[in-house]
A and B are shown apart, each in its own frame.
Chain A
Amino acid sequence: MKARHLPLAIFTLSLALVAPSALGAEIQNSDVAQQIVAITPGTNVDEVVSAADSWASEQQITQEEALEEMLEQAQLARDENRLASASQAQSPFRSNPFGAKRTLPRSSYKGDIYITDSKVQPFGHTGIFGDTTWTVEAPGIGEVSRWFWHYDKKVVAGAKFVWFKVSQATQNAAADYAYANLLNYPYNTKFFDNKQLNPSHLNCSQLVWLAYKKGAGLDLDGNGGPGVYPRDFLKSSLAHHYYTVP
């Protein structure tokens, strides 16, 4: 072997000795990240891996464990939405497979939230009532967070109204925080990593979570983890589901 080939030989040998385990783990992690991306439209593997690294560092766990947790949360949120939306009423329009839509009713009190299933949004949708006749919410991809009269929002049969077992002043504080601080944010597609306290983008459950977190000091994510999804609020010990849209 000529001397000039020696570095290449050493490199090849080191790859052969070291690569299988590291490469295998990387491929496996990449596969998990791909699965998360497939569930979460508008995201990419780099974003998933970056979020997993942050969560792993914060929780003192491995990247692999972080990715598994993120995947588990996303799959659960997707499956719960699918299960619920499968039972929606039929639309009067034959060409429309999305189920019938209802006008969002008023809430009983300020600061209540609603959670609706969706066949378009993979995890369903949620918003917080700024008062009893209007909401603050992040509508979806391509839109900024904003307020809506309740009658401008359509939900599917089975949409749930929820209040939290805290004082009205606490609910008011969360609602006040939402319309005073959380309007006009671009949409955040990354549900798997949406619990930053100073975000530049917001998605629907992130907005509701942040309103209560920063406005009232409450963490209403019922199952923890790096992401908060609409139905996670139902799992909070403070949540009380009081009305279902017929």
Chain B
Amino acid sequence: MLIKTSCVLRTISTFVTAGLSIGILAGCSNSGIQERQFDELNTEDAVLSVYAGNAGAEAWTHKGYLFLIDANGNGKRTSLTPVAGARLQWTSQGLFAPTFSHELYVDDSAAQQIERSVDSDFQVNRSADTQTSAALYSGRESHSVVVTNGTGTIIGQSENVGLFQQGVQCGNEFLGIANTEFNPHLIEAAAEQSGDAEASGYDFLARLHPHDGTTPPILAATSEDRSVRIGPWEPACVDRRVISPVFKRDHPDASRDNGQDPNAGHLALQTWDADSGERQIISMTREDGTLLTLSPDDSYSNASQFSGSTYRFVTNTGRVLAVEVMSGRVIQDFTIPLETRELSTAAFYITEKHCYVLSIPSDAVAPPSLSAYDLDTGEGRELMTLPSLRSHLGGNWMTGELFVESIAIRPSYDQQLTAAETPTSK
């Protein structure tokens, strides 16, 4: 009898433990954000989208979510296999997002997922125009450009063997900035395009899509400028002119041997004209003509916007800069107050009028919040708190915590905010 009781207790204990484990694995339920199958999603009530995951961790632990959140901070989430560097893009047509194997498209009425021919857990870049969204992925054999249109259909894909770290959609093309240091197999093509066969290396602009085969055609090339370093910045394209921040090093030959600092330098704009082939490096300067230096902590930006003749971007530390493209003059420079990044995360999204920031405080009980900063005045205001988002980012014992890869704002919500801020004339 005793043995039987013991067995029963052990069985109950096993079930309780298993139940608890499943509960922990599944994550805590949260009334503010409901789990949905992907095909049940639409963006009808959503104003904010959040992409979170742990794609930098081991593949077998991968976990990710796409959140669609309404103006009250509540909403839906769907599970997905996450992509590192995933960028959301929300155009007037709908929301574009990646998973390991699919392109996702959600609009006000439905959601579609379209399988790519190439799997990837690393998205290098994404850019969109009014009709299409083009993404650059680092895949097993090459860097792939995948173009999706406003009905959620993949309309083009090109493969590019080599190392391509910056790209942008220019009309029907997707152009990439690279150099032969990291793509030595393209040195002959670059030399021919530049008309200078003597250079030891070349910087070049290539068409990553569309093209046949796996070698991208080089549209323009020039002898390498070793002071210029392509970094993790978002390029823009205007009239087939590609514009992107670069880090211009004071000491291109810096090494421990000579004691020079490789991270000393300033920010500049690199522009490539795809038609004329001209490349310009325009240093960013302040009002007083001094060069714009940034700390190593300001080393990247994944949110930018081009409007008129002004390129705007926000660094990972919340520094918002607006640069006049022709002159390189910095016409706006303010910093969004953030907690130290050591234990907090922040994600940014820039529109023509605002810089949005989703802040995840390091304090375990403090709710994440969404704020909007006026790009002209630097004034900010909190739009919503998202207490229900917090627990979803904690992950579980297997996944570890999840990180916000990117956010996107519904375009009409941004327009409403702008309209509400505009003083009405009497």
| A12 at the binding interface (Cβ < 8 Å) | no
Instruction: Tell me if B401 and A152 are in contact (CB < 8 A).
Output: no
| A244 at the binding interface (Cβ < 8 Å) | no
A143 and B121 in contact, given A95-B391, A152-B84 (Cβ under 8 angstroms): yes
How distant is A220 from chain B, measured CB to nearest CB, in Å? Answer: 16
How distant is A102 from chain B, measured CB to nearest CB, in Å? Answer: 6
How distant is A70 from chain B, measured CB to nearest CB, in Å? Answer: 23
Instruction: Tell me if A131 and B229 are in contact (CB < 8 A).
Output: yes
The binding surface of chain B is classed by DSSP as: loop
Instruction: Tell me if B122 and A141 are in contact (CB < 8 A).
Output: no
| B58 at the binding interface (Cβ < 8 Å) | yes
Instruction: Tell me if B58 and A147 are in contact (CB < 8 A).
Output: no
Contact segment of A31-39, A103-111, A194-202: A103-111
- The closest CB in chain B to the CB of A96 belongs to B401
| A92 at the binding interface (Cβ < 8 Å) | yes
| A133 at the binding interface (Cβ < 8 Å) | yes
Q: Mark B52-64, 1 if CB is under 8 A from A, else 0.
A: 0001111111000
Q: Mark B311-338, 1 if CB is under 8 A from A, else 0.
A: 0000010000000000000000000000
- Chain A residues, CB < 8 A from B15: none
| B299 at the binding interface (Cβ < 8 Å) | yes
How distant is A164 from chain B, measured CB to nearest CB, in Å? Answer: 10
- The closest CB in chain B to the CB of A156 belongs to B400
Interface size on B, residues (CB 8 A): 52
Contact segment of B255-263, B275-283, B412-420: B255-263
Alpha-carbon gap, A160 to B136, bound state (A): 31
Q: Mark B108-141, 1 if CB is under 8 A from A, else 0.
A: 0000000000000110000000000000001011
| B10 at the binding interface (Cβ < 8 Å) | no
- Chain B residues, CB < 8 A from A130: 182
Name the contact of B394 in the complex, choosing from A95, A139, A167 (C-beta under 8 A).
A95
- Chain A residues, CB < 8 A from B262: 108-110, 132
Instruction: Tell me if A151 and B300 are in contact (CB < 8 A).
Output: yes
- Chain B residues, CB < 8 A from A91: 401
**Chain A positions 144-165 with a Cβ under 8 Å from a chain B Cβ:** 144, 146-154, 163
Alpha-carbon gap, A91 to B299, bound state (A): 25
How distant is A190 from chain B, measured CB to nearest CB, in Å? Answer: 16
| B184 at the binding interface (Cβ < 8 Å) | yes
Interface size on A, residues (CB 8 A): 49
Instruction: Tell me if A93 and B232 are in contact (CB < 8 A).
Output: no
- Chain A residues, CB < 8 A from B393: 93
Instruction: Tell me if A151 and B316 are in contact (CB < 8 A).
Output: yes
Alpha-carbon gap, A91 to B231, bound state (A): 30
Instruction: Tell me if B57 and A120 are in contact (CB < 8 A).
Output: yes
Name the contact of B363 in the complex, choosing from A92, A140, A246 (C-beta under 8 A).
A92
| A237 at the binding interface (Cβ < 8 Å) | no
- Chain B residues, CB < 8 A from A97: 397
Instruction: Tell me if B61 and A120 are in contact (CB < 8 A).
Output: yes
Instruction: Tell me if A95 and B58 are in contact (CB < 8 A).
Output: no
Q: Mark A55-80, 1 if CB is under 8 A from B, else 0.
A: 00000000000000000000000000
The binding surface of chain A is classed by DSSP as: loop
Alpha-carbon gap, A180 to B61, bound state (A): 29
- The closest CB in chain B to the CB of A93 belongs to B394
Alpha-carbon gap, A146 to B403, bound state (A): 20
Instruction: Tell me if B299 and A95 are in contact (CB < 8 A).
Output: no
Name the contact of A105 in the complex, choosing from B231, B255, B296 (C-beta under 8 A).
B296
| B36 at the binding interface (Cβ < 8 Å) | no
Q: Quick one: which of B55, B232, B362 has the most chain A CB within 10 A?
A: B232
Alpha-carbon gap, A219 to B397, bound state (A): 37
Instruction: Tell me if A163 and B263 are in contact (CB < 8 A).
Output: no
- Chain B residues, CB < 8 A from A192: none
Instruction: Tell me if B59 and A141 are in contact (CB < 8 A).
Output: yes
Instruction: Tell me if A133 and B255 are in contact (CB < 8 A).
Output: no
Alpha-carbon gap, A163 to B28, bound state (A): 43
Instruction: Tell me if B395 and A184 are in contact (CB < 8 A).
Output: no
Alpha-carbon gap, A167 to B222, bound state (A): 29
How distant is A175 from chain B, measured CB to nearest CB, in Å? Answer: 10
**Chain B positions 285-302 with a Cβ under 8 Å from a chain A Cβ:** 296, 299-300
Instruction: Tell me if B58 and A121 are in contact (CB < 8 A).
Output: yes
Instruction: Tell me if B61 and A179 are in contact (CB < 8 A).
Output: no
Alpha-carbon gap, A152 to B262, bound state (A): 21
| A214 at the binding interface (Cβ < 8 Å) | no
| B396 at the binding interface (Cβ < 8 Å) | yes
- Chain B residues, CB < 8 A from A139: 56, 58-59
Instruction: Tell me if B394 and A152 are in contact (CB < 8 A).
Output: no
How distant is B341 from chain A, measured CB to nearest CB, in Å? Answer: 7
Instruction: Tell me if B182 and A184 are in contact (CB < 8 A).
Output: no
A147 and B84 in contact, given A120-B57, A139-B56 (Cβ under 8 angstroms): no
Instruction: Tell me if B229 and A180 are in contact (CB < 8 A).
Output: no
Instruction: Tell me if B257 and A168 are in contact (CB < 8 A).
Output: yes
- Chain B residues, CB < 8 A from A134: 165, 232
| B154 at the binding interface (Cβ < 8 Å) | no
- The closest CB in chain B to the CB of A152 belongs to B84
How distant is A184 from chain B, measured CB to nearest CB, in Å? Answer: 5
18 contacts across the A-B interface (CB closer than 8 A): A92-B344, A92-B364, A93-B393, A97-B397, A121-B58, A133-B232, A139-B56, A139-B58, A140-B57, A143-B121, A144-B140, A146-B138, A147-B138, A151-B232, A152-B122, A167-B255, A168-B256, A179-B182
6 closest cross-chain pairs (CB), A and B: A142-B59, A168-B255, A140-B58, A93-B394, A95-B394, A98-B400
Using CB atoms and an 8 Å cutoff, list the residues of chain A in contact with chain B.
91-98, 100-103, 105-106, 108-110, 120-121, 130-134, 139-144, 146-154, 163, 167-169, 176, 179-180, 183-184, 246
